[in-house]
Structure 1
C-alpha cells in the first residue's frame, strides 16, 4: 500500500476508536483491514488518540502495562508486553461507584499501582533503576474494555485500542510492602466478595518491577520519560473477569490491605 494511503488509514482507525469511546459502539477488528498491519502501525494509532485527548485538555495520569503474564501472551501469540495510557479523569478510588454503562464490555484485573518518586527515562533503565524510582505501592484494579467488537483482538488490535484500557482504580493508602518483596505478594480477585481468581506478584513477568523497567526503556526510545508522581500499573495477577452493573470487584491483598469498587 502507498505509505501516504496507509497513514490516512491509521488516522481513520484512530478516529473510529475515538468515536467508539464516545458512542459505546465497537468497531470491527483492525488487523484484517490494513494489509501487513504491524505493531508500529498499532502504536501510531494509539499515539494519534493520545495527541487528540491531550489537545482537548485531558491530563495524563500514568501508564499501564499489559500482556505481562505468560498465559495472556500465549493467548495472543506474542512474547512481550504492551502498554497504554490513562488520564486523571479515568482514575477512581476505594468504594467508587462506577457506571457500567460507561464501558462496552468491561472486565477487571487486580494489580499493583506504582507511584513514581522520581523520573524514569530510558533507554538503559535497569531493574535496579526502576525499583529505586518507585515511591509507593498501592492496591489497584484495572478496568479493561475493548472498543473492538466482541473482544475479537490480536496484538495489533489491543495496542491500537490503547491496550484495552477502560479505567483505573487505586487505593488511597500505600500497601506496607517492600519493593523487593513484591513477587511473593498474593492477591485474590473477588467478585461480590466471592474469591474467583488468585495469583502472586511473580505472575507479572516473574517480577512486577520488570514491566516498569521495560516500559521506561520502550518509551525512552521514543523520547518520552515517565515522570515523578505518575501512576504505573505493571500488569495483572490473574486473568480478567467480566463485570456488570450491580457487582463489586475487590483486589484482596490479605493482611496488606484491599481495594473494592462497585459497578452501578
Structure 2
C-alpha cells in the first residue's frame, strides 16, 4: 500500500497519471484505499502543507451515476489549493480538470464523532459560502471506481470559495437551487436536496467516519459537502460559475 500511496503522491507532483489501482491489487479493500489516502496526507503535512479542510464526494445521484458508485467518499485539501472569486486558475496545474458547484461550510464549532447528529452538524456551521470543487484524477483517463478515487484523495484537485457568505439559513439549504455555468451558459442545475437529501447530512457523516479514527473536524475549517450536479470538464480559456440565484455566485477563470 505504501508503494501505491507514493505513486499517487508523485503523480500529484508530476501530473503523470498512474494505472487504475483496482486492476493492480485485486483484493484491494475500502480500508486499504483510505490507508493509501492517509499516507499521502501524512507526506504532504510533513512537507509543510497546511490542511484547510475536507471534502465529501459522490453525495448526489448525478455524481454516483457518473462514476458508477453507490456511496460517498471523502478527501482533504490544503491552503495552497484554495482559490477565490474571479481568480485565474492555471488549467496546466491539473491533468484533466472538471468542476462541480457546491456549498462551502465554515465551521464555528469543532465536530468530534462518532455520534454527531444532524442538529449538531447544523449548529456547527458558522457560515455558508458559494464554492466550486475542481476535481482531477491521478488515475489515467478518469478510469476510476470507488477504490481508485478514494485512494486518490477523492479526486480532489483544488477548490474555489466565495468571499461573501450566502444569506441563507442552514435549515433552508435543501431548497436552494444552484446552476453550473460554463462561459456564462447554464449547463447543469440542481437543488440542495440532491446532496444526500440534505447538504448537512454529509457533514455529519464525515464527522462520524473521521471520529471513528480519532480525527475531529476543527472549528475554522472549510467543508465541502458534495456537488449539486454532475461534474463538467473545463479547459484553458473557459470560466465556471456556481450561481445560487439571488443568493449570490462564484466565478473562476481557467487560463
Q: TM bucket by the smaller chain?
A: over 0.9
Residue aligned with 1:109, SS? strand
CA–CA distance in structure 2, aligned partners of residues 90 and 75 of structure 1: 24
Q: Which residue of 2 aligns with 1:4?
A: none
Deviation at 1:75, TM superposition (A): 4.6
Unpaired runs of 5+ in structure 2? none
Residue aligned with 1:65, SS? strand
Deviation at 1:72, TM superposition (A): 2.8
1:232 aligns with 2:226: no
Q: Which residue of 2 aligns with 1:169?
A: 160
Deviation at 1:71, TM superposition (A): 3.3
Q: Structure 1 residues 90, 178: CA separation in 2 closer, same or farther (over 3 Å shift)?
A: same
Deviation at 1:21, TM superposition (A): 1.0
Deviation at 1:201, TM superposition (A): 0.4
Residues 180 and 186 in structure 2, CA contact (< 8 A), matched pair in contact too: yes
1:145 aligns with 2:136: yes
Find runs of 4+ consecutive structure 1 residues off by over 3 angstroms.
74-79
Q: Which residue of 1 aligns with 2:170?
A: 179
1:14 aligns with 2:25: no
1:80-119 mapped onto 2 (5 Å cutoff): 80-119=71-110
Residue aligned with 1:31, SS? helix
Residue aligned with 1:20, SS? helix
CA–CA distance in structure 1, aligned partners of residues 248 and 51 of structure 2: 27
Deviation at 1:38, TM superposition (A): 0.7
Deviation at 1:210, TM superposition (A): 0.2
* TM-score where L is the length of structure 1: 0.95
1:123 aligns with 2:117: no
Q: Structure 1 residues 151, 116: CA separation in 2 closer, same or farther (over 3 Å shift)?
A: same
Offset from partner CA, 1:17-49 (integer Å, 9 cap, x none): 111111111000000111210100000000000
Deviation at 1:61, TM superposition (A): 0.2
Unpaired runs of 5+ in structure 1? 1-9
Offset from partner CA, 1:151-184 (integer Å, 9 cap, x none): 0000000000000000000001100000000000
CA–CA distance in structure 2, aligned partners of residues 72 and 200 of structure 1: 14
Offset from partner CA, 1:86-121 (integer Å, 9 cap, x none): 000000000000100000000000000000001000
Q: Which residue of 1 aligns with 2:185?
A: 194
CA–CA distance in structure 2, aligned partners of residues 236 and 84 of structure 1: 14
CA–CA distance in structure 1, aligned partners of residues 9 and 234 of structure 2: 23
1:47 aligns with 2:47: no
How many pairs does the alignment contain? 255
Deviation at 1:76, TM superposition (A): 4.3
Residues 53 and 76 in structure 2, CA contact (< 8 A), matched pair in contact too: yes
CA–CA distance in structure 1, aligned partners of residues 102 and 38 of structure 2: 24
1:134 aligns with 2:125: yes
CA RMSD in angstroms comes to 0.8
Within the candidate set 47, 52, 67, 1:56 is matched to: 47
